[in-house]
Structure 1
Amino acid sequence: MAVAVEDFKRACEVLAGGRAVLCVSHTRPDGDAIGSVLGLRALLRTRGLRVTALMLDPPTPRYAWLLDDDPPAIWTRDQAAVRGEAFDAVLIADTASARQLEPVLGYLESLAAPRIIVDHHATRDVAAHVALIDETAAATCELILEWAEALDWPVPPEAAEALFTGLATDTGWFRFPSVDERAMRAAQRLVAMGADPHRVYERLYAQESAARLRLTAAMLATLELRAGGRLAVVELIRDAFRRCGATPADTEELVNEPARIGGVEVVLLFVEQEDGQVRVSFRSKPPAGGLNRPFGPGLDVAALAAEFGGGGHARAAGARIRGSLPEVRRQVIARVESELLRSADARHDLSGLRTRPT
């Protein structure tokens, strides 16, 4: 549901009550998280506010070009400096999940400053004075653009490029099912405001490291197709990172690779963690019907991830599960296969209704 203009105005009133704003997003920041924080910083600075941009983890190298001129604070490195600041408001972007804010949640709860959340995810268990949440938005950066436009804020080129980056990466460069006319029009407006799509694409996708490519190959070597080819399963053990010279940051977007296989409806990527947990990434796409038309909406992987303590979107979600890799694999695969079987039975029944003579 679209955010009402009145809610955008309420958020602006909260910000107008002070001068110093802390802007933060989730752990392991992706393009939408980084674009949201940097875009908000640039926008709010035009309103005369002093903004501290905070990342909970260091962004991956592919986003360095966005950060070099004005690096954000990193919680693991700059925690003491951030704690020494006095903030009049807190802006949380691209998440409303306590689990995704875990490293900083205690600090945020200790602050008396009012809290604003701007997000497009289904999972939400963090309270806010104003919540600007729209699950139908293709990206949080799209919502932030709409916020600025609703209040006639100027959008400087650096904000436009950051917001375009978030929108483009969260939609798989405008190829995911979340892309609609609203998203494409937002992209058009951001380009008119100064975003350069060619520059953004080149910086994001034409500067890969050899280590990341080796890691991609290692992941694809584990590919297993299950449930009649509807489920693709891949994994990365800890030793794979050592052998490839890669880091956990190099896994960003790798889960999307097996989704290119025809007939695959769900992809699971299991990544073994150093702390005894397994990070599971879920992706889904609608099954193809006749003449390559989608046959039904596909599985809601956010609901599946939530069963394991995670969350996200209907088409992209994740969870961190404590246990050995074989045990976590067994549990998650069994649950997904069960859901795929149930959905297949439902489609069979629906197909029978469609073809039954009247």
Structure 2
Amino acid sequence: MNDRYESNATLDEIATRLRSSRRVILTTHAKPDGDALGSSLALGLVLDQLGIETQIWYMPPVPAMFKPLLAGMDVRLADGSHLPDPDYDDLVVVLDTGAVPQLSHIYPWLETRTDHIIVLDHHIEGDVGVADMRYVDRTAAATAEIVADLIDCLGDGPDRRTAEALFLGIASDTGWFRYSNVTPRTFEHAARLLRAGVDHYAIHDMSDQQHQKSRLDLMGRALASLELALDGRLAIMQLTQDDYRESGASIEDGHGFSELPQQIGTVKVSCLMAQNRSDHVKFSLRSKAGADAIDVNELAKRFKGGGHALAAGARFQGTLDEAKLALIQEVAQILGTD
């Protein structure tokens, strides 16, 4: 048995299995982002067009700005009290993750039916036990790129609505085509989706220009907390429970803040530390690309987290001060300055 998290099936094989199914359940990681939502919605739309009964199960919260895209789809929320039918015996597709911790509430339901599960993912790390059939492409900038290729295997190219979902996934996971994960393939997909009728400005406006003032208040607090360590190579921002409460913002409002300190020339790694509870801290880690880039996936694994080489996350059991000290020690060790 191959215990490496890698592909063990082709997209053509996955397309064949999808076509032979009467029903398909789609799901993704908890707190779906643009790629998770866009890739699952795009595949759901195509399966519906093929006459395959499709449900999409998300683990909340689903960002409010994305909900209009889901109109007309059979979308359900999985939490501790609501899960898919225990007698369901058809196909399940997990998108944009293969990691058990990210599957949260729905994993107890998934783990009893691995022989009916397909994983489509572009992340470095995952758990091979989640699914018997996997397609993992670490060169894809987004899982939406994989789904775009899968849709080609299923038949005709995407219609406008499907193209919008795919564009959301690709654009959001590349920072609107700014990140180092962008490849010629990424732009080729984007060009094709624009030709299918996507209004790229409308997608950007919907996903990135509909925040509340509370998000900017929270951003100000994060920037005010900014500290540099290790000769300016590590930037740390902290948000406390009081920061969230007093600004009226949520944990999700801090999305993207960890990138802000990378505007400082000396910074190689930046981290936003968000306090969920007095003894629980979430790390959002970012690294600058380049020959001397620090692999924050490897850094996150030291805290039992993971993600991509340049973007990863982890959780720390302890106070913010303890979390900051632990992070500085680990980064110093990686840099050889401990």
Q: TM-score with structure 1 length normalisation?
A: 0.87
Aligned residue for 2:3? none
- Verify: 1:230 aligned to 2:233, yes or no: yes
- Verify: 1:125 aligned to 2:127, yes or no: yes
Separation (CA, whole Å) in 2 of partners of 1:339 and 1:48: 52
- Spell out the pairing of 1:5-16 with structure 2 (5 A cutoff): 7-16=10-19
- Spell out the pairing of 1:154-165 with structure 2 (5 A cutoff): 154-165=157-168
2:31 to 19, 28, 32: 28
In structure 2, list runs of 5 or more residues that go unmatched.
Answer: 1-5
- Verify: 1:101 aligned to 2:103, yes or no: yes
The one-letter code of the counterpart of 2:200 is P
Q: Percent identity?
A: 34
Secondary structure at the counterpart of residue 158 of structure 1: helix
- Spell out the pairing of 1:266-345 with structure 2 (5 A cutoff): 266-274=269-277, 276-286=279-289, 294=290, 296-341=291-336
2:43 to 26, 40, 43: 40
Q: Deviations over 1:267-303 (max 9, x none)?
A: 01111113832110110013xxxxxxx4x14011101
The alpha-carbon distance between structure 1 residues 69 and 19, as it changes in their structure 2 partners (threshold 3 A), is closer
Secondary structure at the counterpart of residue 277 of structure 2: coil
When the two chains are superposed, the root-mean-square deviation of aligned CA atoms in Å is 2.2
Separation (CA, whole Å) in 2 of partners of 1:283 and 1:138: 16
Considering fraction of residues, name the structure with more helix. Answer: 1
Separation (CA, whole Å) in 2 of partners of 1:222 and 1:112: 45
Q: Number of matched residues?
A: 332
Q: Deviations over 1:104-125 (max 9, x none)?
A: 1111112376110000001111
Separation (CA, whole Å) in 2 of partners of 1:61 and 1:336: 36
Aligned residue for 1:350? none
Secondary structure at the counterpart of residue 229 of structure 1: coil
Separation (CA, whole Å) in 1 of partners of 2:50 and 2:80: 28
2:199 to 193, 196, 199: 196
Separation (CA, whole Å) in 2 of partners of 1:26 and 1:126: 16
Separation (CA, whole Å) in 2 of partners of 1:234 and 1:337: 17
The alpha-carbon distance between structure 1 residues 78 and 39, as it changes in their structure 2 partners (threshold 3 A), is farther
Separation (CA, whole Å) in 2 of partners of 1:320 and 1:89: 32
Secondary structure at the counterpart of residue 92 of structure 2: strand
Separation (CA, whole Å) in 2 of partners of 1:53 and 1:43: 13
Q: TM-score with structure 2 length normalisation?
A: 0.92
Separation (CA, whole Å) in 2 of partners of 1:89 and 1:141: 20
The alpha-carbon distance between structure 1 residues 4 and 186, as it changes in their structure 2 partners (threshold 3 A), is farther
Secondary structure at the counterpart of residue 268 of structure 1: strand
Separation (CA, whole Å) in 2 of partners of 1:308 and 1:44: 38
Secondary structure at the counterpart of residue 39 of structure 1: helix
Work out whether residues 54 and 74 of structure 1, in 8 Å CA contact, stay in contact via their aligned partners in 2.
yes
Separation (CA, whole Å) in 1 of partners of 2:162 and 2:140: 18
